[in-house]
Amino acid sequence: MKPAVSILIPCFNAEHCVGDSIESALAQTWSDSEIIVFDDGSVDSSPEIIRSFGDRIRFESSLNQGAAMARNRLLELARGEWLQYLDADDKLAPDKLRSNLEVVQSEPNVDVLVGPVEVEHLRRGAVRTREIMPAHRFQGSVDSWRMLALWELPQTGGPLWRRSALLDVGGWRKDQPCCQEHELYLRLLMAGKKFTFTNFVGAVYRRFETGTLSTQDMPLVRRERLKIAARLEAHLEATGGLTPERQWAINQARFELARSAWPADRAEARSIAATIRGGGNAFRPDGPAAPPTYQFFYRTFGFEVAERAAWMKRSFMSIDPR
């Protein structure tokens, strides 16, 4: 019989954590599942660690071809109706599958079940801080488009994915350099796939001090996020779904990206800010990136003056009074 769920673990040079990842998959209280590990050409001891689990898992390896290829190969190997992706440096809570499957079995038309993840920030192997992302609870009707624009949909391990839905949209995009799950979210939404939400925190996303592509090459991440925002906006506009609330979310995302670019590249920041529809007269930024004083300068004088005022404030506050 086919298992209900396939737990899919792509691995590349993860000898320090792949064993923990597999152990968390084996510890699931939902037993009707299979675990498939794909090693994408590791040159460390990852393959030996994976093989040590014997026939409790399925294992395949190849020469290194990248994360998207590895995830697509796992998609091909999977037999379950539902897919739980789990990066080799992350973990699952023991009841993750059980809790998620109880939800999707009660809502048969769901294609993607989205849940928050616990983010562990590690330094020298020890957890320094933890946070839940997104921090707010899902209540009532949740707008998946708005959440995607605001980058509130979780990383790969958070959702439970219906296998047929991923196949319908062609799986993971092979040439997507980063933000791979968010680009996939976009195509699923554009294809009309149904998202639903749970507040059960079932995945642990571990962030090491060595960083990831999303922290090592921020200009690339900003470019890819902007591309996704532009595609999202164009699709909603063409289909009559670009509500004021969704337009605000897209603008807020562009605003936050512009702010993140300002310290390193002011030309990039200005270019991003120029894509905000309506500019300072119509758009009202919000959230931690726009405290009240900043909002005043932004609304009155625009992005660049607000940034310069914020920089002057930070410089003044950093002066040693002695």
Apex CA 91: angle with CA 118 and CA 131, to 5°? 15
Residue 241 has a CB neighbour count (10 Å cut-off) of: 12
Nearest to 158 by CA among 120, 193, 112, 190: 112
pLDDT digits (tens, 9 = 90+) for 268-319: 999 999 999 875 558 999 999 999 999 999 999 999 999 999 988 876 655 5
pLDDT digits (tens, 9 = 90+) for 46-97: 999 999 999 999 999 999 999 999 999 999 999 999 999 999 999 999 999 9
Q: What is the CA radius of gyration of the chain?
A: 21
Q: Write a three-state SS string for 72-97.
A: HHHHHHCCCCEEEECCCCCEECCCHH
Tokens of 273: 């800010």
How far is residue 125's CA from residue 39's CA, in Å, rounded to a whole number? 23
Q: Residue 216: pLDDT band by 50, 70, 90 thresholds?
A: confident
